[in-house]
Structure 1
Amino acid sequence: MKHVIALDVGGTTIKAALVAPDHTLLYETRRPTGRERGPDAVVDGILGLAAELRAVGEERYGQGAVAAGVAVPGIVDTASGTAVYAANLGWRDVPLRDVLAERLGGIPVAVGHDVRTGGLAEGRIGAGRGADRFLFVPLGTGIAGAIGIDGRIEAGAHGNAGEIGHVAVRTGPDAPLCGCGGRGCLETLASASAVSRAWAEASGDPAADAAGCARAVEAGDERARAVWQRAVDALADGLVVAVSLLDPGTLIIGGGLAEAGGTLFAPLRAAVAERVTFRKLPLIVPAALGDAAGCLGAGLLAWDLLAVPTDTTDDTTEVSAR
């Protein structure tokens, strides 16, 4: 069976898979990223895992992978296949495409940005399937975004399209300082880490987190409701900016906060509707692929290199998202 290698490199874990043309994950594994051992060790770990996947494919299917795709965080030059900068991995100008291709015997290799790669998967085979224009926004440690147009992801002139997390939704000296150097950025107010910080302060429990805040909201805790609503209002303000500029038909919300389900989506839909005065409201839906989105997107990047049409007619979401 023809297959490709897919790698999703995160700050703590590398998720890896062999992916069939119909998006089935034929084989899956995970390894620690090992960033505490330094940037070179992270690259060595990626190369070693890719070689391991190639061997698995040869053993199981009688042939090696025909291409590979890798999704990485930070700033990515997709044209050259270079991981330009990733603060959490200590990377600068890593020629990832070239070193992976050499390790894998010269097969084609695609390198993509982690969020945009996940957005590609959600758009083609996940929650955005069939939408001609969508915005994928994962709410995790930070907030980023992927702009989907007709089955592809817009990178922008400098590779930074979709950075909704750094839209300023609050102003003034009291607006929280962001790691980017700005104040009042969306991710300082509506990311999972921002909610965790706010709930820890409000509850007096240093170990409190966003998931606990969501549970407290469901239990009727007024302090939690206040923290949650502030985050929802900030998120709605940021999303309405995107709606005004991009006019997406669908907003796909993923990441840790989306796991709160209706506790997030009911007030968020109401807050966005309140702010959209004359435009048609987009659908606001949860992401469908979970933490498999990165690997599935990396697989799509790999198949795209070969110009091999992949099957998007069958309902593969449940199989692929396992």
Structure 2
Amino acid sequence: MNARETLAGSPDVRRTNLAVLLRHLHLDGPMRRAELTERLGLTRSTVAGLVGELGRLGVVEQSTTGAPAVPASRGRPSPVVRPCPLGVQVLAAEVRIDQVEVALVGLGGTVLRRDSRPLPDRGPEAAADLLAETVAELVATAPGRVLGLGVAVPGVTRHDDGAVRFAPNLSWRDVALGELLASRLPGTRVQVVNDGDAGALAEHLRGVARGCADVVFVEGEVGVGSGVIIDGRPLAGAGGYAGELGHMAVAGPAGRLCRCGSHGCWETEIGRHAVARALGLDLGASRAALVEALHAPGPEVTARLDRVARHLGAGLATVVNVFNPRLIVLGGLLREVYPRVSTRVQRALLDGALAAPAEQVRVVLPELGDDAVLLGAAETVWQRVLLDPVGALAS
């Protein structure tokens, strides 16, 4: 046995190699064992042993069929290793202003089941009840072991204990959502995150920003959520509160009153109410009605959205100057707005951004669509599991 194989066989290094191998499969999908051997830089026998151990844990399987095509070669084809979404799952939930959505997500990011329910009462206790009820029903149908629950919330969240410090569009302040859910779901590990952070993580790992180290995700709905990835890592800040771009002051003290108590916040100029106002719709118009109006033919729609476009571009210019991202991903309702006004947005962005960072950035739409936040909530749980699959599955 050579030195490299001896090292790879030590307990700590072996657990690390198991984690790395499983992460490749979780994010990249099925691949031949020979490719895994090349990616990990280990011997074939070592990789075969790692795959076997993960197979015994019920998280991967292997066969000689169904792999990506490879050039013909002599000898037996390398077995295909694939994640087992039916073996282990996590739960993901997204709390929106008017509904909650919960999904059962298998290894590899496969959404196995989902359930969306209206949220008539925005009170924290009522929301926790609704989430717990929906989660319990999905857990009862889960085909494998459920490893935890990730919950994305449109508000400022504290990472260490799942407290929601402030969610203005839900009228929540200092809500111990993690504790509320844990008390209703005994034995379930709960992780609460900001919705923008979740969207950024999902698009970075699985979507349009895959492989891009510097990304800003901006989701415009009733408010504006955002998340920032810098040098491949989420930007959290001292307490987990970084990246609240929706509350940048873009219109000054004379701007509209925001639910946070300030005037002229970015979300008052590009959020759902601003879009409804621009289109001449009632401020309480449904998202479906707004999307229909945004898709209406004719140049008058673009003209009506000029103020929204100018403020969107000006805010993005600040984002470019501060973070110097490669990609800005526009999700939520902004995914519908941007195609109508992209030229005006780009002009305002270039007017306000410094030339050097502006030359490096692209504004794009999310590859994961409206599922970005939900899948990001799932990934917050998967990231813990992928750090130490043996420990997570043995606990």
Deviation at 1:277, TM superposition (A): 4.3
Alignment partner, residue 196 of structure 1: 276
CA distance in 1, matches of 2:153, 2:185: 18
Residues 161-206 of structure 1: CA distance to partner in whole angstroms, max 9, x if unpaired?
Answer: 2222222223364x333333333322222223212113328xx999
Indicate if the aligned counterparts of 2:125 and 2:180 stay in contact, CA closer than 8 A: no
Q: What is the TM-score when the length of structure 1 is the normalising length? A: 0.82
Aligned equivalent of 1:28, options 95, 100, 114: 114
Matches within 5 A, 1:1-322: 1-35=87-121, 38-57=123-142, 61=143, 63-89=144-170, 91-101=172-182, 103-171=184-252, 173=254, 175-200=255-280, 210-211=290-291, 214-215=294-295, 218-221=297-300, 224-260=301-337, 262-279=339-356, 280-308=359-387
Deviation at 1:309, TM superposition (A): 8.2
Indicate if the aligned counterparts of 1:39 and 1:91 stay in contact, CA closer than 8 A: yes
CA distance in 2, matches of 1:185, 1:261: 19
Q: Alpha carbons of 1:177 and 1:86: their partners in 2 closer, same or farther (altered >3 Å)?
A: closer
Indicate if the aligned counterparts of 1:101 and 1:107 stay in contact, CA closer than 8 A: yes
Q: Alpha carbons of 1:234 and 1:15: their partners in 2 closer, same or farther (altered >3 Å)?
A: same
1:67 is paired with a residue whose SS is strand
Larger radius of gyration: 2
Indicate if the aligned counterparts of 1:14 and 1:33 stay in contact, CA closer than 8 A: yes
RMSD over aligned CA atoms reads 2.8
Q: What is the TM-score when the length of structure 2 is the normalising length? A: 0.68
Alignment partner, residue 314 of structure 1: none
Deviation at 1:283, TM superposition (A): 0.9
Aligned residues: 299
Q: Alpha carbons of 1:282 and 1:12: their partners in 2 closer, same or farther (altered >3 Å)?
A: same
Deviation at 1:102, TM superposition (A): 5.0
Identity %: 34
CA distance in 1, matches of 2:119, 2:283: 30
Indicate if the aligned counterparts of 2:328 and 2:361 stay in contact, CA closer than 8 A: yes
Indicate if the aligned counterparts of 1:132 and 1:150 stay in contact, CA closer than 8 A: yes
Q: Alpha carbons of 1:215 and 1:11: their partners in 2 closer, same or farther (altered >3 Å)?
A: closer
Q: Name the aligned partner's letter for residue 35 of structure 1.
A: D
Q: Structure 1 regions of 5+ residues with no counterpart?
A: 311-322
Indicate if the aligned counterparts of 1:196 and 1:213 stay in contact, CA closer than 8 A: no
Question: Which moves more between the two structures, 150-159 or 119-128?
Answer: 150-159
Indicate if the aligned counterparts of 1:54 and 1:104 stay in contact, CA closer than 8 A: no
2:372 is paired with a residue whose SS is helix
Deviation at 1:210, TM superposition (A): 4.9
Q: Alpha carbons of 1:145 and 1:54: their partners in 2 closer, same or farther (altered >3 Å)?
A: same
Indicate if the aligned counterparts of 1:195 and 1:227 stay in contact, CA closer than 8 A: no
Indicate if the aligned counterparts of 1:77 and 1:159 stay in contact, CA closer than 8 A: yes
Q: Alpha carbons of 1:210 and 1:309: their partners in 2 closer, same or farther (altered >3 Å)?
A: farther
CA distance in 1, matches of 2:312, 2:203: 20
Indicate if the aligned counterparts of 2:93 and 2:152 stay in contact, CA closer than 8 A: yes
Indicate if the aligned counterparts of 1:210 and 1:257 stay in contact, CA closer than 8 A: no
Indicate if the aligned counterparts of 2:150 and 2:380 stay in contact, CA closer than 8 A: yes
**Bigger relative contact order (CA 8 A; separation at least 6):** 1
Deviation at 1:11, TM superposition (A): 1.9
Residues 242-298 of structure 1: CA distance to partner in whole angstroms, max 9, x if unpaired?
Answer: 111111111111121322453133332343234434212401101222221222111
Q: Name the aligned partner's letter for residue 282 of structure 1.
A: V
Deviation at 1:90, TM superposition (A): 5.0
Alignment partner, residue 72 of structure 2: none
Q: Alpha carbons of 1:93 and 1:271: their partners in 2 closer, same or farther (altered >3 Å)?
A: closer
